[in-house]
Amino acid sequence: RMNVKKISTGSQALDGLLAGGIETRTMTEFFGEFGSGKTQLCHQLSVNVQLPPEKGGLSGKAVYIDTEGTFRWERIENMAKALGLDIDNVMNNIYYIRAINTDHQIAIVDDLQELVSKDPSIKLIVVDSVTSHFRAEYPGRENLAVRQQKLNKHLHQLTRLAEVYDIAVIITNQVMARPDMFYGDPTVAVGGHTLYHVPGIRIQLKKSRGNRRIARVVDAPHLPEGEVVFALTEEGIRD
């Protein structure tokens, strides 16, 4: 775990849960129900990675792979403005790529090797969401084995990019809300143990009152247990 760098989420509570923020050389999964804040966190981290180290960033660029069409430049603008950053700069430092199906998503990640070796200022790769095309194209139990195999290969490729190029990789995964999920085995809710054996940090997100959200780290021996509350605001992720 040497030489790991951190990107602030914008919430001190969430950063505290993560011992400083999202790590480079690591794949971090945000999973949770619709509206739990996964996409907002991906937007915020794409802006925050650009901040200087003393403000919680890495003075870096982001690659944003959007599989669901939920990326909004307007959110980036609002978040950049709230931090007093130059909006055009911030937008130029995000490589936005829309992935239309699994083959495309896999091909994009295949090609990233070249991009990140050419541009070492890339410090964050987002895949929001990593699972939606796989679920749509390989539905049901009968396709589970093939889906797992393809998805695992894709995830290991992302993990390697993180490790080799000192990049923070964030993936998201939408799961159903279940009352017992937070205290039961969350992997069961993922629809098979899809992401279970992949290395990295898993953060479960849950809706709370109004704009409040709850985050919990799952299965990370080096991080303290417990939950924190953060807020989704017009300006971005806050306490």
Cβ atoms 94, 83 nearer than 8 A: no
Distance CA 91, CA 162 (A): 22
Per partner kind, with CB cut-offs from 5 to 8 A, the member of Mg ion, ligand ADP, none near residue 36 is: ligand ADP
CB closer to Mg ion, 30 vs 165: 30
Give the total of residues touching Mg ion (CB under 5 A).
3
CB closer to Mg ion, 85 vs 190: 190
Cβ atoms 46, 65 nearer than 8 A: no
Give all strands (DSSP E) within the chain, no chain letters: 6-7, 22-23, 26-32, 61-66, 94-98, 122-128, 168-174, 201-207, 212-218, 227-233, 236-238
Instruction: Scan for tokens 């410090």, then name that residue.
Output: 123
Per partner kind, with CB cut-offs from 5 to 8 A, the member of ligand ADP, Mg ion, none near residue 234 is: ligand ADP
Minimum separation from the CB atom of position 40 to ligand ADP (A): 4
Minimum separation from the CB atom of position 70 to Mg ion (A): 5
Minimum separation from the CB atom of position 54 to ligand ADP (A): 27
- Per CB under 6 A, residues contacting ligand ADP are 32, 34-40, 211, 232-234
Query: Any contact of residue 39 with Mg ion (CB under 5 A)?
Result: yes
Per partner kind, with CB cut-offs from 5 to 8 A, the member of Mg ion, ligand ADP, none near residue 35 is: ligand ADP
Distance CA 35, CA 89 (A): 28
Minimum separation from the CB atom of position 2 to ligand ADP (A): 32
Per partner kind, with CB cut-offs from 5 to 8 A, the member of ligand ADP, Mg ion, none near residue 20 is: none
Instruction: Scan for tokens 């709370």, then name that residue.
Output: 208
DSSP, collapsed to helix, strand or coil, labels residue 145 as helix
CB closer to ligand ADP, 39 vs 148: 39
For residue 232, give both structure tokens.
């989704």
The residues in 54-113 that bind Mg ion, with binding defined as CB under 5 A, are 70
Distance CA 77, CA 124 (A): 18
CB closer to ligand ADP, 116 vs 189: 189
CB closer to ligand ADP, 39 vs 131: 39
DSSP, collapsed to helix, strand or coil, labels residue 68 as coil
- Residue 66 has a CB neighbour count (10 Å cut-off) of 18
**Site residues (CB under 5 A) for Mg ion?**
38-39, 70
